Amino acid sequence: MNVAADRTRGARRTTPRRGPAAALLSGALVLAVLTGCSNSEPTLPEVTRATSADAGVVQTAPDGVQEITLETGDDYAFTPAAFTVAPGPVRLTVRNTAEQLTHNFLFTEGKGPAQIVEQIPFLGPGDSKTIEFTAGAPGDYPFECSFHLALGQVGTMTVSAP
Ligand SMILES: [Cu+2]
């Protein structure tokens, strides 16, 4: 325990008891502060999540498959929201570091040059799931978390030209 804390405890011990008037006054101050706070507009959680170093890095596994890991959390974002792979097999992991939010991952229907049907239908807090698919025609493949599509949880996978 540090010295400052000890000093505070000592001071509290020697403080004379306050009367009911003082208690009422401090209660009124607390109310005033709370009322002040309630004026602020509700906002979406900030993206303060720290992303792991491996997120978004496309690597080739020993079996020759391209691997990439995306992260999401207690916000409405994929990190990174954009990445590029070469045509060929892809092993994509989505890691949900959230304590509260459940997400999913799917390629947006009817948007890319071809439909990639593999998806992660449900990714609970703390879960990490992997799908494998083949990246075919070059172009941009939009993906989304359909639970939070309205909150802008989307991204784009680009398949480069061969
Ligand atoms: Cu989501």
pLDDT tens across 87-116, in order?
A: 999 999 999 999 999 999 999 999 999 999
Given this structure, which CATH class describes domain 59-159? mainly beta
C-alpha of residue 21 to centroid of ligand 1, in Å: 50
Q: CA-CA distance, 76 to 82, in Å (whole number)?
A: 15
Could you give the 3-state DSSP secondary structure of residue 10? helix
C-alpha of residue 117 to centroid of ligand 1, in Å: 18
Please state the rounded mean pLDDT for residues 143-160. Answer: 98
> How much is the mean pLDDT over the chain?
82
Q: Which residue has the higher pLDDT, 17 or 138?
A: 138
C-alpha of residue 110 to centroid of ligand 1, in Å: 20
Calculate what percentage of the chain has a pLDDT beyond 70. Answer: 71
What's the pLDDT band for 158 if we cut at 50, 70, 90? Answer: very high
C-alpha of residue 13 to centroid of ligand 1, in Å: 50
pLDDT of residue 7: 44
Q: CA-CA distance, 130 to 6, in Å (whole number)?
A: 52
142 touches 108 (CB < 8 A): yes
pLDDT of residue 13: 46
Domain boundaries, given as residue ranges, for the chain: 3-37, 59-159
pLDDT of residue 27: 46
Q: Which residues pair with 93 in a beta bridge?
A: 69, 130
pLDDT of residue 32: 44
Q: Which residue has the higher pLDDT, 111 or 7?
A: 111
Asked if the peptide bond before residue 138 counts as cis, ω within 30 degrees of 0, the response is: no
For residue 33, the one-letter residue type is V
C-alpha of residue 114 to centroid of ligand 1, in Å: 23
pLDDT of residue 2: 43
pLDDT of residue 48: 72
The tens digit of pLDDT for each residue in 14-55 reads 444 555 554 444 444 444 444 444 455 556 656 678 888 889
